Amino acid sequence: MRLLILIAALLTALPAMAASITDSAGRTVEVPDKVERLYASGPPASVLVYGLAPDTLIGWPRALRPNELPYVAQAYRALPEVGRLTGRGGTANLEVVIREKPDLIVDFGSVRGTYISLADSVQKQTGIPYILIDGRFEATPKAIRLLGKVLGRDDLAERQAAYAEELFEDLKSGLKGVPVDKRPRVYLARRADGLESGAIGSINSEILERAGGQNVVGEVPGRRGLVQMTMEKILLADPEIIVTWDRNFFESVWKDPLWGRVSAVKNKRVYLSPVYPFGWIDRPPSINRLIGLKWMASLFHPDRFPMDIEQETRRFYELFYHVKLPDADLERLLESARAAPR
């Protein structure tokens, strides 16, 4: 009996077994066989991790707001705010990360040199393994499978990756016979005045092109991110469809005489994207964009991509967010996603 107790004590004292994995940046990282506490370096990573293994997430980069709570599983609504290591407005520091004692740090997004250097530096200073996962839209299935392997959630990862692959293949085949110049002209309106948008190639607006729209902002030399627009440019481009996630813009655009000259407003084809618990277009650019991509394709090409928005939303939220939405919460989420206000 004493021998058994001694063996058990020794086993408990042994360090956790580690496995060697190659992350999306080509870095070889030793990660624990069992990850119980995971620190997401920023919002995109937190959504990816929440979707696959919410029980490992030690906190949100930003605490959830009251309107977001019903769309996240009950057990994870009160997770603390732990800040972020990457992106604008980083609020975490290494002391916070060390204090939280994560088994692993995950970043989901760019795998350029800056982020590799950050990962290497943080890992060296803290001794905590840090992996980078490619956040490009087209890499989504591979990213999900990689994290699923690391966290031992292969079955769920396969179902989520298959969802993304099926969506991408449906769009590819459905748009094959539609020339780019025959696709609807679309504008993404950001901010309350609607005068911020994303150029072609921007991570903020790439969803427009992927869903089969023509981004009327076009290419901006030397810019692949956000751009400032003017009403003159918007009137000249005359988008057929406008999408936004800013409720202030959505509610005011119908009363503005200048915007009223735009075809999208005249024909009541301005749509307010759902944003709970994470945006369908962006904010953050993570797996939350998959449902937004499907929704946008149904707006741009309803005959090619018909969508039962209630059924598809329920399906997505159960698979990725682990919630079964009551009718009232579903209606609140989708209230303006279908068309202009009455």
* pLDDT (tens digit per residue) in 1-50: 443 443 344 334 344 568 999 999 999 999 999 999 999 999 999 999 99
Print the domain residue range for 312.
178-334
Same structural domain, 167 and 230: no
161 and 213, same domain (yes or no): no
> pLDDT per residue over 207-258, tens digit each?
999 999 999 999 888 777 899 999 999 999 999 999 999 999 999 999 999 9
Q: Are residues 58 and 81 in the same domain?
A: yes
Tally Cβ neighbours within 10 Å of residue 139.
15
Whole-angstrom distance, CA of residue 246 vs CA of residue 275: 9
Q: Do both 298 and 156 map to the same domain?
A: no
**pLDDT (tens digit per residue) in 111-155:** 999 999 999 999 999 999 999 999 999 999 999 999 999 999 999
Query: Within this chain, do residues 141 and 186 fall inside the same structural domain, yes or no?
Result: no
Q: What is the CATH number of the domain that holds 196?
A: 3.40.50.1980
Average pLDDT, the chain: 92
Query: What's the residue count for the chain?
Result: 342
Do 44 and 152 lie in one domain? The reply is yes
The DSSP code for 71 is G
The residue among 303 and 96 whose pLDDT is bigger is: 303
Half-sphere exposure of 29 (CA within 13 A, CB side): 29
Average pLDDT of the segment spanning 261-267: 98
What pLDDT is stored for residue 66 in this prediction?
97
Mean of pLDDT values over 307-322: 98
Residue 340: inside a domain, yes or no? Answer: no
10 Å CB burial of residue 88 (0-12, 13-18, 19+) is exposed
Q: Phi, psi at residue 314, to the nearest 5°?
A: -60, -45
In a domain, 342, yes or no: no
pLDDT of 5 reads 43
In a domain, 326, yes or no: yes
pLDDT at 342: 42
Reported as a single tens digit per residue, the pLDDT across 326-335 is 999 999 999 8
Tokens representing 120? Answer: 């290497």
Q: pTM for the full model? A: 0.92
Please tell me whether residues 184 and 168 are part of one structural domain: no
The pLDDT assigned to 340 comes to 54
Q: pLDDT of 151-205, one tens digit each?
A: 999 999 999 999 999 999 999 999 999 999 999 999 999 999 999 999 998 888 9
For residues 192 and 65, state if they share a domain.
no
CB atoms within 10 A of CB 278: 27
- What are the residue ranges of helices labelled H in the chain? 2-13, 43-52, 94-100, 113-126, 140-151, 154-174, 206-210, 231-237, 247-252, 263-266, 289-300, 309-321, 327-334
Q: Are residues 151 and 219 in the same domain?
A: no
Residues 164 and 251 in one domain: no
